Amino acid sequence: MTPKEVVAMAKESGTKMVDLRFMDFPGLWQHFSVPMSEFGESCFEDGFGFDGSSIRGWQPIHASDMLVVPDPVTARIDPFYAEPTLVLICDILDPLTREPYSRDPRNITRKAEAYLKSTGIGDVAYIGPEAEFFIFDDIRFESSRFGSFYEIDSVEAIWNSGRDEGPNLGYKPRHKEGYFPVPPTDKFQDLRTEMVLTLEKLGIAVEAQHHEVATAGQSEIDMRFMPLLTMADQLMWFKYVLKNVAYRNNHTVTFMPKPLFEDNGTGMHTHLSIWKNDQPLFAGDKYAGLSQVALYAIGGILKHARAVCAFSNPTTNSYKRLVPGFEAPVNLAYSSRNRSAAVRIPMYSASPKAKRIEFRTPDPSCNGYLAFSAILMAALDGIQNKVDPGGPLDKDIYNLPPEELAEIPSAPGSLEEALAALKEDQEFLKKGDVFTQDAIDMWIDYKTHKEVNDIKLRPHPHEFYLYYDI
């Protein structure tokens, strides 16, 4: 829509407030609201000022002033606020130069799309994430100088099979058996449907919803693939809708990759295809119906996967999921059907338009703008440099002899390892000025000092179990 059309839409819908949303660096939506009396077509040019020093990973205090400039294409009516409210996703500009801000994740995604077109390889990259999540009934946690704990509860959890629930009606999925029985074992069919219908009202196309493997409400809702920036925007709406639908039904949703011990973690398998002139570039007569271009793209993703993980698996908790030997996609290889390989080629359809590659390592704790852009940049580097991905891994990895398994490279074992890989392998991200040195350095610095070191410094409750009597 144009600015004029957005203003007309706001008036026709009886909008009373306009909510301006943008991303902080780690990946959470931030917002502030203005009344309709302060909103008009000029806002799409002038923007609104705010304090950038209070946003995580952004400006220092002596250079705090920033501008948010709404993107009219993103206009939607919020489905949760009490008063009719128009939501606009915003870009961040420097108020003096009016240049896009280097640490604005949305700016990085815009540049990734522009770089794709500039290479002549393709003109659109389609992204399809399969974001998993948990629906819990209660979550309590504390981390202080003298104690720490967390406690999760769910009416669906198998650990409550013996609890007096007045009455306990049973039907709780056993560990690793949540994929996917009908109700009453699946307690959240109606809740997930409410989530889907809310997403559809926002114009977000959904392909499926279902329970996932773990007990205690693990679920998945799949959005239909969309161009890179559109999908990054939609992922933010996705998380927002799921959290708020759960909240108003007295549940809580988390996208933490590994909230439960000894049950399945939460991933976000991410599908990628590149098109040019409305023609898919990944379909061909090579392995699993792929083109040579697609194989080179796989080569690039596998070559740079350890660095990409710094964005696609960006939390210390991410690596509680990415553990070798537990069916996690840690093996940096590709296969048409082997789900422990980092890259899989889905074989559900023979249509060239459906041909894509699936990067299975990412998880939904990521900032989608950064993760999707990094995946695309790795794929483009593979295509440009004709990176050979080697042969496919179609064997049962868990029965491979140790000497053969040792030859298969693996994803990082920790966030610290991923950040170290990013320090060593970042030139592919800087092509076309997509990721600036400033943005990469701040990401490494923020993640190291705010997350890696914070976890390192704190005793873990299980250490008391192991060592208190030593």
Q: Are 351 and 243 in contact (CB under 8 A)?
A: no
- Residue of 5, 51, 200, 454 with catalytic role: 51
* 138 carries an active-site annotation: no
Is 394 an annotated catalytic residue? no
Q: Is residue 76 annotated as a catalytic residue, yes or no?
A: no
- For residue 244, how far is the Cα from the chain centroid? 18
The reply to whether 285 belongs to the active site is no
How far, rounded to the nearest angstrom, does the alpha carbon of residue 237 sit from its chain's CA centroid?
12
From 78, 156, 233, 358, the catalytic residue: 358
Classify 27 as helix, strand or coil.
coil
CA neighbours within 13 Å on the CB side: how many for 419? 21
Single out the catalytic residue among 19, 104, 156, 220: 220
3-state secondary structure 287-330: HHHECHHHHHHHHHHHHHHHHHHHHHCCCCCHHHHCCCCCCCCC
> Catalytic pick from 212, 363, 416, 451?
212
Read off the DSSP letter of residue 456. Answer: H
Instruction: Please say if 130 is a catalytic residue.
Output: yes
Known active-site residue 306: no
Among candidate residues 331, 435, 329, the one with its CA nearest the CA of residue 377: 435
To the query of whether residue 177 is one of the catalytic residues in this protein, the response is no
Which of these is catalytic: 21, 211, 269, 304?
Answer: 269
Nearest alpha-carbon partner for 310 in 168, 419, 465, 187: 419
Query: How far is Cα 283 from Cα 354, in angstroms, rounded to an integer?
Result: 8
Please compute Rg for the chain using Cα positions: 23
CA 248 – CA 270 distance, rounded (Å): 29
Active site residue 269: yes
Q: Name the active-site residue from 19, 91, 104, 130.
A: 130
Q: Do residues 208 and 128 touch, judged by C-beta distance below 8 A?
A: no
Active-site annotation holder among 76, 103, 192, 360: 360
Q: Point out the catalytic residue in the list 163, 339, 458, 460.
A: 339
Active-site residue 358, yes or no? yes
CA distance linking residue 239 with residue 198, whole number of Å: 12
Q: Reduced to 3 states, what is the DSSP secondary structure of residue 161?
A: coil
CB 315 within 8 A of CB 370: no
Q: Which of 19, 132, 222, 416 is catalytic?
A: 132
Please name the residue that has the structure tokens 């909230």: 259
- As annotated, the active-site residues are 51, 130, 132, 212, 220, 269, 339, 358, 360
